[in-house]
């Protein structure tokens, strides 16, 4: 029985192998050029130093220098004025730079009260 099974497997394998064929190896493609190595090298140097024809607009080369119509001192003074104006787009009317408000309390009186409180102790507190 084993020999008949082995024989049938061998027959099936040979039948399937007849239909299979492999591609022949032709080797590395041969390239025949009419230009010399020196000509190709010179063309490569020119191409490396010229602009990239396939680049996007953002990387298309060195951007031109921006010439401003406003003097530096004027731009600085406008920036300072805008910073002091606060947040114009804030949701609350108090958004922006905190205003310095002069207090009505005497500084010496606040210090004296703080020293008196510290002398009494924190546990007694107000």
CB atoms within 10 A of CB 96: 14
Residue pLDDT, tens place only, 86-97: 776 766 655 655
Q: What is the pTM of this model?
A: 0.26
Return the H-helix or E-strand segment holding 6: helix 2-19
| Average pLDDT of the residues of the chain | 78
Residue 42: per-residue pLDDT: 95
| CB contact at 8 A, 96 and 85 | yes
Return the H-helix or E-strand segment holding 72: helix 72-85
| CB contact at 8 A, 86 and 97 | yes
Residue pLDDT, tens place only, 34-79: 889 999 999 999 988 887 777 776 566 666 778 888 899 999 999 8
DSSP conformation class of 108: H
Backbone φ and ψ for 63, nearest 5 degrees, come out as: -70, 150
Residue 10: per-residue pLDDT: 80
Would you place residue 107 in the very low, low, confident or very high pLDDT band (cuts 50, 70, 90)?
confident
| CB contact at 8 A, 51 and 60 | yes
Helices and strands, counts by H and E, the chain: 4, 0
Is the model's pLDDT at 17 over the cut of 80?
A: no
Residue 77: per-residue pLDDT: 93
């Amino acid at each position: 029985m084993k020999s008949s099974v082995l024989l049938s497997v061998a027959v099936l394998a040979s039948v399937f192998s007849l239909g299979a064929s492999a591609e022949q190896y032709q080797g590395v493609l041969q390239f025949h050029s009419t230009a010399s190595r020196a000509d190709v090298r010179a063309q490569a140097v020119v191409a490396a130093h010229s602009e990239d024809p396939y680049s996007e607009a953002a990387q298309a080369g060195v951007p031109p220098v921006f010439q401003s119509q406003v003097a530096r001192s004027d731009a600085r003074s406008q920036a300072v004025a805008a910073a002091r104006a606060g947040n114009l787009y804030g949701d609350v009317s108090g958004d922006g730079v905190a205003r310095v408000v002069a207090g009505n309390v005497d500084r010496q009186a606040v210090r004296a009260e703080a020293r008196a409180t510290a002398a009494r102790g924190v546990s007694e507190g107000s």
